[in-house]
Structure 1
Amino acid sequence: MPEDADAPIQVLMVEDDERLAQLTERYLAKHNLVITRVADGERAIAAASEHRYDVVLLDLMLPGCDGLTVCEALREHDDVPIIMISARGSDDERVAGIERGADDYLAKPFNPRELLARVNAIVRRERGQLGPTQRILEVGELVLEPKQMRAHLAGAALDLTAYEFRLLYALAEHPGRPLSRERLLDRVHRGKAEEAFERSIDVHVSRLRRKLGAAWMLRTVRGQGYMLLDDASQARRG
């Protein structure tokens, strides 16, 4: 990820609607974002392999290789933040996008100001500008460094997306205490409630469990939400 918080934001826009792509590019460029635009999935995958972008704006409905397939392909080798954009705005479609690796989801038609705000927010978080809390957290053998957006468990680096890191950090701030989905959404998404949905937390927790390789660390507390445990807490509860 770029270390310079003031560096221009490099955006890969994947959109086959020429008129929408031009209008969106024109608006974002006015706000000093550098846009690379491609119109199909194959070229998107190629572009992402040749250059490091700060964020990918990925249309779901693309000719040939669709957005979900592109998202999955990018996630195989890259943790670049992905904002999926689609005319399909149902919860099932959003969950499908997140399950494939998207960090955010925006339904068409969208306000370009909202898109710009989401891009700026996700890049700030990716660059380590999480807000007032910047302290390193240690929970058992888990170490989280928010400034560098690094996570280690038992000395091994964890390959987390920016969203997954924020979710794990929020849980690590209150080890041994359950946090509701609503509170996690507020801490992780840092946006209006209508911009997110509770099922997205379930998907990200499931992915986090797999990446931690220690599923017991993230416990579901019925009726209350999720809780992060350390080794000592597990021993006491076991």
Structure 2
Amino acid sequence: MYNPTVARLTYRALLGRRRAAILFVLPALLIVIAAAVRSFSGADDQVTADLLGGFALATMVPLIGVIAGTGAIGPEIDDGSIVYLLAKPVKRSTIIFTKLIVAIAVTMAFSAIPTLIAGLILNGNGQQIAIAYTVAALVASIAYAAVFLLLGTVTRHAVVFGLVYALVWESLFGNLVPGARTLSVQQWSLALAQRIGENGVISSDVGLPLAVILLVGVTAAATWYAGRKLRTLKLAGEE
């Protein structure tokens, strides 16, 4: 199911000079903000949870997911270069699975690691807050990568739709509108963070069993449908 050649090409595309520079911006900003907040307010559990939840998990993770998920396949479909990959004796389901693994790895690396560093800077992992949000970022990375990889296979405007979803649904509605929270990857991952923290500072509107079911279901469904779309993909010049 995993193809090293496809993985290498995908990593090269995602971590090229221009895209890698974009990926580094938000993690660097999070760490700078964390250092500034710690210097001004000291170690504070609630401030740590607010920053990691409001910026890292609600904004940074989905945006990095957009970049990694759509970038893993969207540009190749847009410019037609994926025809060279599809012409190889590699199953299309293998291509999707491999690109998903790469997108997940990149999203995790550029979101979970900075979240952990920021949490340690803010309160030294007091009340297990840094670890809790790091786990939430890791879990959310899987779902976001799958969803945005799917977007990359179904529309040429995947980045635009992905940004709208990340900034409007996850960052805005996922934080402010009670009914929408239950349909937010952010809230599903927060359910795991809440269990790990067990301190009352972290909360989610979704119970842990339902959150796990939704995370697994969305990831599996998005991956399956992305594979299906790639199998039926019609490129320019195909009959």
Q: Larger relative contact order (C-alpha < 8 A, sep ≥ 6)?
A: 2
Q: Considering fraction of residues, name the structure with more helix.
A: 2
After TM superposition, the score normalised by the length of structure 2 is 0.31
Q: Considering fraction of residues, name the structure with more strand.
A: 1
